[in-house]
A and B are shown apart, each in its own frame.
Chain A
Amino acid sequence: MKRLTTLLSALVATMSTNVFAEYGLNMTKGVTSISRDIYDLHMMVFWICVVVAVLVFGAMFYSVFAHRKSKGAVASQFHESTKAEFLWTAIPVIILVGMAIPASKTLIDLEDTSKAEMSIKITGHQWKWQYDYPKEGISFISNLAQSHKDALTGTDADREAVGNYLLEVDKHLVLPVDTSIRFLITSNDVIHSWWVPAFGVKQDANPGFINDAWAKIDEIGTYRGQCAELCGKDHGFMPIVVDVVSKADYAKWVGEQQAAAAAAVASATKTWSKDELMAQGESVYNTNCAGCHKKDGSGMPPVFPAMKGSPIANGAAAEHMNIVLNGKGAMPQFKMLGDADLAAVITYERNAFGNTGSVVQPSDVKSAR
């Protein structure tokens, strides 16, 4: 008994940590007209199911309690009633039609992306999201934040400390409020699915095809989501974070990003020192490569080879650049990174972990593309 009490109090203790307050039982309404329509539809169907369940299970349990032999029930022998059969075929049909009408209306509305004021292209990669603003000329990659990767195998306290555990990225997608946005969703390797519950948007990212979805977000805030289609090893670790900001803040952000993009182009034309490349390369490596090849370059043979002592990292730079740019087998392509980042990470791979390869400059990467 004492042991049971201890176990129970331990259970209660686990459940009354501060996460208890945050747990959800139901879908949330979200911040777009679509997500609210979906929520209403969900609740309508749910309550219809509840009413039907109460009637059907009510009849069943009444029968279970009242028509039992131990209570002296004598079995009737009826076994057919065309009237009853007709009724319980017709009534469900009517209920279903009642559900189908609002569902069809919502569906037709949410599939109509023609009223969009701007477009964002979203590309899934194993295991990160790339966001392109085609008109504004902005493009970046969004990875699970490093502190969260570390917390995976850390302590409970680490996971509490990072905040929004597993739902934080190094670079947020930034969108303006009160604007109809069309999302053009595709993939570079396997099928992913871009999902932000608060927007009511979930759409598969298929390699070689572009799907679309739209949202007009009503409230400024930060919204989080995850990849929803199994896409390999780190499927659970490619979250989505969206900052929805005022139109003025959005314009300001676009200006900053464009300036940063111009600076990156400039830096790609200069010649970097080896130390600069190594410093930059380490952070690019830890973000993009360490998931498989490991921080210490030991890899996960035989699927993900070690960097340490690798014949490619210690061999000709051309072959090394080719494999990073274009991928091979399980190795994804990394064309979407900038010349400077690629040069830095390749140089890092060729000179860290005791490797003795050559230094690669952004101009080398540019000509290798």
Chain B
Amino acid sequence: MTTATASHDDHHHGPEKGLMRWIKTTNHKDIGSLYLWFAFTMLLVGGAFAMGIRAELLQPGLQLMEPQFFNQLTTMHGLIMVFGAIMPAFVGLGNWLIPMMIGAPDMALPRMNNWSFWILPFAGGILLSTFFMEGGAPAFGWTFYAPLSTTFAPDSTDFFIFAIHLLGFSSIMGAINIIATVLNMRAPEMKLMDMPLFVWTWLITSFLLIGAMPVLAGAVTMMLTDRNFGTAFFDATGGGDPVLFQHIFWFFGHPEVYIMILPAFGVVSHIIPTFARKPLFGYSSMVYATASIAFLSYIVWAHHMFLTGMPVAGELYFMYATMLIAVPTGVKVFNWIATMWKGSMTFETPMLWAVSFVFLFTIGGFSGLMLGIVPADIQYHDTYFVVAHFHYVLVTGALWGIIAAVFYWLPKWTGKMYNETLAKIHFWWAVISVNVLFFPQHFLGLAGMPRRIPDYSLQFADFNLISSLGGFAFGASFFLLTYIVIDCIRNGKPASARPWPSAKGLEWTLEPKAQYHSFNKPPSRALIEAESQNS
């Protein structure tokens, strides 16, 4: 038996050829690439919807679409970006990087890994197919509040529910896999407090996923039975309560926003020390801050619901708990700046993205703090101020972290260097246009423009024009990004094994292009200590 297994292994030094490699693969690197390419495709699809939204809002009047179609676009833009782009992109990064960072040969559950990826294209396909159904796609916003999403929704909503269930399965399996990998497959000599921060943030994120996704599944299942089987969970005429839906949704939804940002915190905690040529400041406080944010994320959900008619005591509690999140988040920001302080910094592309992440994400943090103040939230709630806030944390936060990670680890994935000049041009293009796109939306919100409206009063015309032009420029920047990545894969100059000389981490000890099967033997204690962020 043992000899048979050994000789079996001998035949598998490299990947299978052709399409079947990608369908049958159980290799964490292949699956990571699949996740990343899927996420990038969905980013372009969701981005195209955003271009439609900004085109309609370019000037007053209804020029391009019916209001119902506009609502379908806002809904699908949100759903595709959250569930199709940001979350799969982070799972892709986790797949690629976690085994290499902890000295493991692969993920703990490789077949399940394959399955959790291959669910995604089907779920995404079902979700997008609703556009072609009678009555159109879901048009009730990505938060799908009942009863607009139950009694008053198009028939395609049942397909949306099925798609959400599938996406949930995929996320939960991905999270279980990461927990199992980190806890069981870590190099025997690696202690938890030796782990790189990207691994730490993903481990904590996985627990958030396991806690939050089943709650979402519960919410959509209750919707399904309300719609089809005569229950009345969210229908007041049957003794239910539409606000119950919001409690359940946001009990998922608030951890969800940290699911989308914590791994980005991890990425930035790798990049800043590398380019500051200094050890990460406060490694253990970073770990504890991440865990505190994760814990707090479960007990602040109703700050999305201050206007639903909550009792004063509830509002006070959720306000205080929400403000508390500023403390561990502040610790992280201060630690990053302390890491940069008295370093010897250079600004290669990943560092540009990381520094702008710290700056722009913190702006989103400030507007988040403002939104947490209940009386002020009365004026901000459901306006463009909120739209500006969550795009600062999700685009210049989560997406920025992903792009930074792609540039930082692309040499390790491909064995080649991207074009630094083009990448810098792309960075400045994106960072300027994204601010032209989202910063004026703060003004629109404060001046009183509600979100999710296809047309607006004339006093909002100027900032909408500016925002739309910024949006088109930002959208166009992704063509350049596509070119840079493909150019790197095809024509990039060979990279060294450690293209960033002061980078730390086990992944940099591998070949320039990480070999298909890495760490068949676990790394030694000496190597782990030499590459640890916790010095």
**Footprint of B on A, CB under 8 Å?**
14-15, 19-20, 22-27, 34-35, 37-38, 41-42, 45-46, 49, 52-53, 56-57, 59-60, 63-64, 67-70, 73-81, 84-85, 88-89, 92-93, 96, 99-100, 103-104, 106-108, 110-111, 126, 151-154, 156, 159-160, 164-167, 189-191, 193, 195, 197, 200-204, 206-209, 211-212, 225-237, 300, 302-303, 330
Name the residue on A nearest B385 (C-beta).
A27
Inter-chain contacts of A53 with B (CB < 8 A):
362-363, 366
A67 CA to B339 CA in the complex, in Å?
A: 11
Known: A64-B340, A76-B342. A193 touches B154 (CB 8 A): no
The 9 tightest CB contacts between A and B, nearest first, are: A208-B236, A236-B453, A24-B447, A211-B309, A79-B279, A75-B344, A75-B277, A49-B366, A228-B382
Inter-chain contacts of A228 with B (CB < 8 A):
307, 381-383, 450
A107 CA to B342 CA in the complex, in Å?
A: 44
A193 CA to B453 CA in the complex, in Å?
A: 14
Can you sample 16 A-B contacts with CB below 8 Å? A23-B460, A34-B375, A46-B370, A56-B337, A60-B355, A68-B345, A79-B278, A99-B373, A103-B319, A110-B378, A111-B315, A152-B61, A159-B60, A228-B381, A233-B67, A302-B135
Q: Is the CB of B61 within 8 A of A154?
A: yes
Minimum CB–CB distance from A92 to chain B (whole Å) comes to 5
Q: Is the CB of A84 within 8 A of B457?
A: no
Count of A-B contacts judged by CB separation below 8 Å: 300
Q: Is the CB of B61 within 8 A of A191?
A: no
Q: Is the CB of A76 within 8 A of B323?
A: no
Q: Is the CB of A227 within 8 A of B450?
A: yes
B82 part of interface (Cβ distance < 8 Å): no
Inter-chain contacts of B147 with A (CB < 8 A):
189-191, 207
Minimum CB–CB distance from B501 to chain A (whole Å) comes to 11
Give B322-359 interface residues, CB cut-off 8 Å to A. 323-324, 326-327, 330-331, 333-334, 337-347, 355, 358-359
Q: Is the CB of B458 within 8 A of A160?
A: yes
B296-330 vs A: 1/0 string, CB under 8 Å? 00000000000111001001100110011011001
Q: Is the CB of B343 within 8 A of A63?
A: yes
A363 CA to B428 CA in the complex, in Å?
A: 71
Name the residue on A nearest B367 (C-beta).
A49
A359 CA to B283 CA in the complex, in Å?
A: 80
Q: Is the CB of A14 within 8 A of B450?
A: no
Q: Is the CB of A165 within 8 A of B283?
A: no
Name the residue on B nearest A24 (C-beta).
B447
B68 part of interface (Cβ distance < 8 Å): yes
B455 part of interface (Cβ distance < 8 Å): yes
A88 CA to B331 CA in the complex, in Å?
A: 7
Q: Is the CB of B378 within 8 A of A202?
A: yes
A14 CA to B58 CA in the complex, in Å?
A: 12
Q: Is the CB of B135 within 8 A of A236?
A: no
Known: A22-B459, A236-B67. A107 touches B379 (CB 8 A): no
Known: A159-B458, A165-B60, A236-B455. A230 touches B345 (CB 8 A): no
Q: Is the CB of B337 within 8 A of A59?
A: yes
Known: A45-B373, A56-B362. A107 touches B344 (CB 8 A): no
Q: Is the CB of A153 within 8 A of B379?
A: no
Minimum CB–CB distance from B2 to chain A (whole Å) comes to 46
A49 CA to B363 CA in the complex, in Å?
A: 9
User: Interface with A: B122-130, B173-181, B237-245, which one?
Assistant: B237-245
Q: Is the CB of B315 within 8 A of A73?
A: no
Q: Is the CB of B458 within 8 A of A77?
A: no
Inter-chain contacts of B498 with A (CB < 8 A):
none
By CB atoms of chain A within 10 A, which of B67, B236, B316, B458 has the most?
Answer: B458
Known: A79-B281, A104-B316, A230-B452. A42 touches B459 (CB 8 A): no
Inter-chain contacts of A19 with B (CB < 8 A):
458-459, 461-462
Name the residue on A nearest B289 (C-beta).
A89
Q: Is the CB of B446 within 8 A of A25?
A: yes
Q: Is the CB of A14 within 8 A of B465?
A: yes
Inter-chain contacts of A64 with B (CB < 8 A):
340, 345, 355
B475 part of interface (Cβ distance < 8 Å): no
Q: Is the CB of A38 within 8 A of B379?
A: yes
Name the residue on A nearest B502 (C-beta).
A75
With A24-B443, A167-B457, A236-B454 already in contact, 11 other A-B pairs whose C-beta atoms are closer than 8 Å: A25-B446, A27-B446, A35-B379, A68-B346, A100-B319, A152-B62, A195-B450, A209-B243, A230-B451, A233-B66, A303-B154
A126 CA to B71 CA in the complex, in Å?
A: 15
Inter-chain contacts of B66 with A (CB < 8 A):
233, 300
Inter-chain contacts of B132 with A (CB < 8 A):
none
Q: Is the CB of B340 within 8 A of A60?
A: yes
Known: A67-B344, A207-B147, A208-B242. A165 touches B458 (CB 8 A): yes
User: Interface with A: B29-37, B138-146, B185-193, which one?
Assistant: B138-146
Inter-chain contacts of B139 with A (CB < 8 A):
232-233
Inter-chain contacts of B4 with A (CB < 8 A):
none
Known: A96-B324, A100-B320. A63 touches B340 (CB 8 A): yes
Minimum CB–CB distance from A156 to chain B (whole Å) comes to 7
Inter-chain contacts of A35 with B (CB < 8 A):
379
Known: A79-B279, A235-B453. A45 touches B446 (CB 8 A): no
B499 part of interface (Cβ distance < 8 Å): no
A49 CA to B365 CA in the complex, in Å?
A: 10
Minimum CB–CB distance from B292 to chain A (whole Å) comes to 10
A53 CA to B359 CA in the complex, in Å?
A: 9
Partner of B447, one of A25, A49, A59: A25
Name the residue on A nearest B62 (C-beta).
A152
Name the residue on A nearest B280 (C-beta).
A79
Name the residue on B nearest A167 (C-beta).
B457
A289 CA to B307 CA in the complex, in Å?
A: 30
Minimum CB–CB distance from A87 to chain B (whole Å) comes to 9
Inter-chain contacts of A153 with B (CB < 8 A):
61-62
Q: Is the CB of A68 within 8 A of B344?
A: yes
Minimum CB–CB distance from B143 to chain A (whole Å) comes to 8
Partner of A15, one of B145, B312, B383, B465: B465
Q: Is the CB of B67 within 8 A of A237?
A: yes
A360 CA to B288 CA in the complex, in Å?
A: 72
A100 CA to B315 CA in the complex, in Å?
A: 12
Inter-chain contacts of B527 with A (CB < 8 A):
none
